[in-house]
Structures are given as C-alpha cells and as structure tokens.
Amino acid sequence: MKTSLSFLFCVFSLLWMNQLVAQCDESTAQVDLDANNIRARLPHTGSLWWDGSDGKYIAPGDGEVSALFAGGLWMGGFDDGGSLKFAKSTYGKASGATDYWPGPLTDIGATNATTCANFDRFWDMTGEDIAAHRADFEADGVVDGPIPPSVLAWPGNGNPNSLSINGFELPNTVQGLAPFIDVNSDGIYNPQDGDYPHIKNATAAQWYVFNDAGNVHTEGNGSPLQFEIQVLAYAYDSNITEVNNSTFYDYKLINRAIESIDSAFVGLWTDPDLGCFQDDYIGCLPERDMMYVYNMDALDGVNNCDDCFVPTYCEDIPVLGIKLLEGPLAGRVFGENNNLEIPPLGSSWDTLVRSGVTSFMFYNNGGISPPPPPGTTDPGAPVEDYNYLTGTWRDGTPLTFGGDGYNPGSSDNTNFAFPDNPADLNGWSMCSEDMPAGDVRMVMGMGGFRMDPGAVNNFTFAVIFVEDVPHPCPDISVLEDAADVIEDFYEDNDPMTSTEEVVRNDGQVRMLPNPLISSGQLVFPELGDQAERVSLYSIDGQLLRQYDQLDHGQLTIDRGDLPTGLVIYKLTTKQSKVYTGKFLVQ
C-alpha cells in the first residue's frame, strides 16, 4: 500500500509540475503606441521600446531617431525558504531567450500553451471609441447603437463577448484583468450595461498581460516568481508640450504562487541609446524619482553626425527622463494578522507607505575598450541581477560616491549614481567626472516588499522627452520642470492608481485585494460620522448582512457564516452617497 501511495504521489507531482512549466512559446506580438509626438514600440512580455534588432522609441515621432534602444522589467525576491526567484528582460528577444510569456496565470501559478497563444496580442483602445460608447449609454441609460469593436473586445473581467470577439473565454479572477469602469458595480465587464475601458482619459492605450511561469527561464536563468504582470501603456495628444512628448505605463503585479515572496524588488532596466549609442551619459534625480540620459558632448555621433551606424540627433540633442509617478506599496502588501484595513473614507492609499526609487545603478558593456572593472559589467547570474536591482555592483561591492562609483576601499556608500546636475561641475555627474565614452545600461530599483499569495502591487512611470537642450553638460533643470508638469498632469487628470484610492471618482470604495482569510476579519477603520450603513451582498444580489449601528465609525466584519466566494459591499453615507467594492471569502 505504501508503494502504491508513493507512486501516486510521484505521478501527481509530475502532473502538477508539468502544469507549472507549461512549455509556452515565446511571444511574437509587437505594436506601436503612436498617439502624440512619440512613436514607442511595445514588444509583448517583459521588453520595451525595441523590435529585437533596433531601438524604436522614435522621438520626435515623425522622425527616424530612437531615443532609447531597449528596456525591460526586472523583478526578484526570496521565498520563505530563502531561495532567490528572479526574472528579467534585456536582449533576449534578439536570440529567442526569455523569462516571460504571454497571458495570465491560474491561482496556483500555472498556465498552458493555449492560454499563452490566446494572449499573445495587444488590446488597442482609443479615447474616441470610449467617448462614443459613453455618449450612447448616457443619452438614455441604454446602449442603442453599435458598440465600437475595441470596447466590445476589451478583456475586462467576465466579458461575455470575449468568445465571439476574441475567440476564447476570459478567466474570471478577483484581481481582475484589463481595467474598466463598472457602471452597475456587478464585478463583470459588460459594455451592454454601459461599462467601458478605463484608460485614464488617454488618447490611445494598449493593454496586455504576461507572466514569468510559462516555461523555463532562458534569459536570466533564474527560478520563476510565478507572477502575473498586467500592463496599460498610454499616451495623450495634448496641447501641453511636455505631455505631448511623453508616454505612460501602468504595471500591475500579482503573486500567483502558493508561497510568499519576501524582500521583493521591481525595476526598470534600460539601454538608453540617445541617438548614437557610443556617447551617452546618464544620471538620476532621487528627489524626483527619475533617471535620465543625455549626450557627453555637443555632437551626437563619434566624430561626426553620420559615423554611428544609426540615425543621430546631430547638433539638436535632447534629454530623456524616466520618472516613477506611483511607486509600489512597500512593506507587507496586505495587513498583519489576517486583517484587512481600509484607510479613512476620503483619504487615499498614499496614507500607506509607497516605495519611491530606492536605487539607481548602472553597469558597463564589458566589450568596450579599455575594459571596465569586472565588477561593473554585465551580470551573469540571478544573484548578480538582484545586486544591481537593489543598489550594489554585480559582485556585491557597495556603490560609492564619486568617480565611477566603484571603489571597494571606500565607505562613502550611496544608492544613487550621478545624482547631481551635469551643469554643476562641483557635483557628482558623469560630466563633472569627465567619464570616457562607453555604452552603459541603467537599472532603477523599487522595493522592498513582501507579496503574499494572491497579493497585488503596482507602479506607474512616464518617459519624458525634452527636445533640443544645449550641450555639453546640459542644465537638467529643463527636465525637472518637464517632470513637474507631467506629475501635475498625472495627478489632475486621473488621481487613481492601479490599487486605487479609497474614494474613486467612479463611486467605488476599494480595499487592498487580499482574500478574506477564514479565521480573519475585515476592518473598516475610522469611517467617522460620514458612514450610515454597510450592506453585504452575494454576487447574485442577495442581501447577506446589513450594519446600521457603526461603532464610532469603525466596522469589523467577522467571517462567521459568510458564504465562500465573491462578496459585494455597499457603503451608504448620511449624504446618501453610495460606494461599492468587493472582497473574497475563502
């Protein structure tokens, strides 16, 4: 009997592992985000801004010069056994090596080749299509006319049109898929009910989803975190120059593993070829959560404008910054002791701690001459990737202030390389150090935090292009000014983040999307005298509980006899305003 049980256990284990390593194929989908003065290539999965061969962040968009060569998502952390998990994207697309595959994951971090193939695509959306659909519904509360195909196909949770329009059914998860405004708050995206995609009033957007568990990691050779990553890339055709010269990116991370990831960091890796790749300088602005690239001299090219094998900016040289607009939640993403806490009504998730940029590192192309110190070159193992992501050199040597930042004998440690204005020759910049020409890569790290199973985290950044800035040693304050405009625009245009503010403009109250543990509680703290009633409904509309006597504005909901599954809550204020949201009972 023991032999039979052991055999069955081995068979089950093999089947389970086969689900986790799904043998998905590498993504082939690519699209351009082309809505304003920028034309930005989006390869699917973890890469950004290149086509696998050439840089395609074309700025200005009607030209042919690329301001960035490539970018990619890095993420890493440790399981509770202390094993490092890591996924990254750099140049793997050129050779077919990858750590990421298209599509979402199941609740045990699995996928299959069919799901990956179905999601190897982008969902394109325009503000014009949304406006037409909204106008139709808002005219009389009924959708009378034809629904734009893009709105009909949008992969919002439970979209009943997906099979007929997209060719496959969508998974239905508590964490959701593509963002949408749920007009009737039923948790289902249905355009016939007036629901519409949420793209933050952008002119155009692209949504896609990928994961790091679809196959064996062949780019970084790390162990998978089993994370699902959802991306909304968007841009605005605006009369504000700074906005018209920028693109925006929302990243939503979901831990689909059955184990927690601790000391987790995410980051943006960038190979910033500003026109010619042989004369770039880089720096950062820690106080503005931004890294940037500029030119080392007054001519974009080696000896002249035409000797770099790629189109250059010649004498009209720009600067380009990548600014974090909303950092990931820091610490433990979900509440302690299995409790979920919602900030006071009217406040935002900013009352919780969000990570800004925690480090800005760079490393050198090891093939340049003279060769740089080995500890400052391309990483060759997941632990070296994690070192760069968390603010040290590949060999674990701390980044130090001054020179090239690599001085094993110094104790003047820092997390930010070249933080001073290049125009300040007394500060620390590549310009003030008169660094030699090279080919550098940047890593902007954010963290650390703990992601429990089912946890959701998010971050948002913008790429900001400023044309024709006087070189050499440019005054980077022009980029600072542009970044301030972008930050104000982002907050004014849509102050909601992907984990969203508690009180949303669309009439919802949101909580951190953590499952309600069977032995735990759900806590609404400090609702004050605004809250009059909280009602709980099943997904089919049955009233489960109602709370009319709120103890000093705070409500604790015990698990009790609540049925398992999705529960809708409705909070009514004394001013007769209604806010809704949902949570999962397990």
Distance CA 388, CA 397 (A): 10
- pLDDT tens, 448-498? 888 989 889 999 999 999 999 999 999 999 999 999 999 999 987 754 333
In degrees and rounded to multiples of 5, residue 114 shows phi and psi of -65, -45
Q: What is the pLDDT of residue 227?
A: 98
CA distances from 556 to 85, 537, 549, 551 (A): 36, 16, 12, 9
Distance CA 176, CA 228 (A): 11
Whether 87 contacts 222, CB under 8 Å: yes
Q: Looking at this protein, which amino acid is placed at residue 305?
A: C
Whether 257 contacts 106, CB under 8 Å: no
Q: What is the pLDDT of residue 578?
A: 58
Alpha helix locations (H) across 180-331?
Answer: 241-244
Residue 526 CA to its chain's centroid (Å):
31
* Those residues with Cβ within 8 angstroms of residue 159's Cβ, 6 or more apart along the chain or in another chain: 153, 170, 188, 189, 190, 191
- pLDDT tens, 318-347? 999 999 999 998 765 543 333 333 333 333
Q: 102: cis peptide before it, omega within 30°?
A: no
* Those residues with Cβ within 8 angstroms of residue 268's Cβ, 6 or more apart along the chain or in another chain: 71, 72, 73, 74, 322, 442, 443, 444, 461
Q: What is the pLDDT of residue 566?
A: 63
Distance CA 209, CA 46 (A): 10
For 369-380, b where at least 16 C-beta lie within 10 A, e where not — what string? eeebeebbbbbe
In degrees and rounded to multiples of 5, residue 390 shows phi and psi of -105, 5
Distance CA 31, CA 278 (A): 28
Q: Looking at this protein, which amino acid is placed at residue 48?
A: L
Distance CA 291, CA 286 (A): 8
Distance CA 25, CA 359 (A): 33
Q: 472: cis peptide before it, omega within 30°?
A: yes
What tokens appear for 497 in the block? Answer: 């983040």
* Those residues with Cβ within 8 angstroms of residue 346's Cβ, 6 or more apart along the chain or in another chain: 502, 503, 530
Judged by DSSP in three states, 443 sits in strand
Q: Looking at this protein, which amino acid is placed at residue 124?
A: D
Q: What is the pLDDT of residue 173?
A: 83
Judged by DSSP in three states, 286 sits in helix
Q: 141: cis peptide before it, omega within 30°?
A: no
* Those residues with Cβ within 8 angstroms of residue 477's Cβ, 6 or more apart along the chain or in another chain: 421, 423
Neighbours of 141 (CB within 10 A): 8
Mean pLDDT (10-residue bins), the chain, 586 residues: 42 42 88 98 97 97 97 96 97 96 95 97 97 94 95 96 97 89 90 96 97 97 98 97 98 94 95 94 96 96 89 97 93 44 36 79 86 93 97 96 94 96 97 90 93 91 98 97 95 49 30 36 57 73 78 69 72 64 62
Q: Looking at this protein, which amino acid is placed at residue 86?
A: F
Report which DSSP code applies to 342: -
Judged by DSSP in three states, 478 sits in helix
Judged by DSSP in three states, 16 sits in helix
DSSP string, 448-484: EEEE-TT-EEEEEEEEEEE-----SS--THHHHHHHH
Distance CA 583, CA 90 (A): 37
Residue 68 CA to its chain's centroid (Å):
18
pTM of the entire predicted model? 0.81
Alpha helix locations (H) across 177-304?
Answer: 241-244
Where are any strands of DSSP class E within 204-295? 204-211, 227-235, 246-255, 261-271, 280-285, 290-295
In degrees and rounded to multiples of 5, residue 582 shows phi and psi of -150, 155
Judged by DSSP in three states, 103 sits in coil
In degrees and rounded to multiples of 5, residue 142 shows phi and psi of -135, 140
Distance CA 429, CA 109 (A): 43
